[in-house]
Structure 1
């Protein structure tokens, strides 16, 4: 049986010619690609790490009363004079509470921590420059050349106090439609790596580790902002605490001015919601969602439409700012009478909108002014509320609450939240926002 099968297989196999035939007339043998010189290949990860690990350090924030660490981050040297770049959020306690916190660096070649002073900050882009007194012999030169998308990158830092670590990942370009510029790094950036560099295989810094969403989704500050901050810091010595607060305040004021101009110059699109039009996606940096919960036992329907900036500015562990967000709720019923719907509608209006994170040490209580206004023939009840920043005079969180009053069993309740704006700009944006309300019936 085996012989029969073998014979059948052999009978079907092609017979090789006894001599090679002539080549096809148009066929050409492919030329082999020339070998890539070893010098042109990116270095192995361990070679890169060994070459530059002395340029990266751990940043420790020290609570003065106890003399112990309160938080950690990373930094990297950028000048022979001992300047290092890190994140603002790593050293924010030194800005907000300078009497309670100091900072030190832990170097790879020196187990003893080295005190550092805070020289300058860029709160909008989450960067800071610190400096130690001793000079350094090895540091990064900050350039500004964007790598091609898909390039292999290496993030360095001190994750979870485990020592200096290097992580491979991929460069995926700028985050589209972001309010504050960020680079997308597909790699693991863990707590403690904030402020460390992300670089190419040649050792060229392209970004500064700043945040992560987990699952290999990391974010970097573009290196050009660090280069601009360093240029200022090289001209200055350590700033006193009040000067640093004034710097942060100026940067926040400039940022909200840019945001206000951006919003006021853009047309305010209208979004259909029930029998109304409401402000839609006002700017590309806003992300919008809609939803209608379905519960057959509830005798009314509330459809939500909301837009918000997905990024904010970190001021301290308890205080965020630089936010634009709004929420529309269209309520309607065919089962409730006018009186019961009025009670429901009043309850919606009395709800507090999602507040931007802050504590009593950061902001005052809200002060509100309520009035009835006419928006192109549509009666609206509106309340404008503001709370002041305690450490940054002239800045406020602004909340506008408004509800249409033209129908007995339907209406739109809306809220606008602006964090870190002047009172004048907050009112200006709120007025423009109200103009986006209209009734289509």
Structure 2
């Protein structure tokens, strides 16, 4: 029995040593194909931001995240790109193609390491060990082991759930399997060993598109088309869905209308000292498409509030009600250089059951993407002196046609007595 136990321990130690050697060998083999991607502010010559990139088998091609190089894409007169290799070699970089929806960029480089990365065409098995490579916090290239946990559940934009430390500066680096083939590109971290990767098949699609349209170097045009196509696909699914309703105070509101829109709720009805009772539900497609440090798009948010102030004077209730109505804002980040000011229409509408509501429909246009808009909608019931229902949604980066269709479906789905 002791002999069996000794053999098992020896086998375990041998296995661990093989895994350690494998990780060490992977890093030694592929570290020269990892580059620090630097965004330089031209006037000062200093680094504005950094990320990681990796050299592909295809000649002169480097992969990184779009968000790593976005400032140089959008503001080429102010920023330029440079790489720094582990041997301290430096050189210029030029962005050739982007996929803003999946946060990927293909970049031209003159750097030619001996070993380069290839893409894995088969998905890993659940629980497989993966290795994330990158340059966290500008501390030098490292390798981080972790676990493949499949695609993130309820995510509209496919992302691999990676249990491992993906830190700032590792964005754009590769995550590889035991053979050294790329299964995903580092893109985000939620802390506590929770990382996210862009799946390798998204990179393969970008490569195929680039090879087909190599002569089309108009990056803003690429971005505009990608944003438009993405929202068309998303809203086609949302608008075609059979929206399920749930009871909410004196009425009904939409629930989780599609799998990638998730809902939460809260209330204070158990607090006897609160004169104004509130029940709130929040639903969102909370993922964003990064465009720049000041501009994001792609979010959908719905919010519902039932307020009841039986102990308040009607004027007191109205003041509190008005405060909640006026707190509605756009759900995405944008600057005045990115979007026009909101223009709003105010109406009083009547439901089929005779109830009345004040509605506000606001739109702001994207300055550089002519077919896209941010939309804010709010409706507040008017027929009761001491209670009311507020329904609200915001859409970012949506076409005029889809915004109007969503508003119609939303307003028809919110019912109150």
Normalised TM-score (structure 1): 0.87
CA distance in 2, matches of 1:421, 1:98: 27
Q: Does 1:206 align with 2:188?
A: no
Task: Assess if the C-alpha contact under 8 Å between 2:102 and 2:202 holds in 1.
Answer: yes
Per the alignment, residue 408 of structure 2 pairs with 431
Q: Does 1:313 align with 2:282?
A: no
Per the alignment, residue 24 of structure 1 pairs with none
CA distance in 2, matches of 1:322, 1:273: 27
CA distance in 2, matches of 1:156, 1:365: 42
Q: Does 1:228 align with 2:181?
A: no
Matches within 5 A, 1:159-178: 159-178=136-155
For the residue of structure 1 that corresponds to 2:413, the secondary structure is coil
CA distance in 2, matches of 1:213, 1:328: 27
Shift in Å at residue 338 of structure 1? 2.8
Q: Does 1:128 align with 2:73?
A: no
Per the alignment, residue 361 of structure 1 pairs with 337
Moved more, 353-362 or 423-432: 353-362
The structure-2 alpha-carbon separation of the partners of 1:230 and 1:92, relative to structure 1 and needing over 3 Å to count, comes to same
In structure 1, runs of 5+ residues without a counterpart are 1-28
In structure 2, runs of 5+ residues without a counterpart are none
Task: Assess if the C-alpha contact under 8 Å between 2:310 and 2:387 holds in 1.
Answer: no
Shift in Å at residue 349 of structure 1? 1.7
Matches within 5 A, 1:41-440: 43-109=21-87, 111-235=88-212, 240=217, 243-293=218-268, 295-353=271-329, 355-377=331-353, 378-439=355-416
Q: CA offsets, 1:401-438, max 9 Å, x none?
A: 11122322211111101000012211110110011111
CA distance in 1, matches of 2:169, 2:242: 42
Shift in Å at residue 351 of structure 1? 2.0
Task: Assess if the C-alpha contact under 8 Å between 1:122 and 1:229 holds in 2.
Answer: yes
Higher radius of gyration, 1 or 2: 1
Name the count of aligned residue pairs: 405
Shift in Å at residue 344 of structure 1? 2.3
Q: CA offsets, 1:74-120, max 9 Å, x none?
A: 011113422011001001112221211111111123x1311110000
Matches within 5 A, 1:24-35: none
Normalised TM-score (structure 2): 0.92
Q: CA offsets, 1:219-266, max 9 Å, x none?
A: 0000001111122334555865xx101110100000110111011110
Shift in Å at residue 68 of structure 1? 1.4
For the residue of structure 1 that corresponds to 2:334, the secondary structure is coil
CA distance in 1, matches of 2:358, 2:396: 22
CA RMSD of aligned residues (A): 2.2
Shift in Å at residue 295 of structure 1? 4.8
Task: Assess if the C-alpha contact under 8 Å between 1:59 and 1:74 holds in 2.
Answer: yes
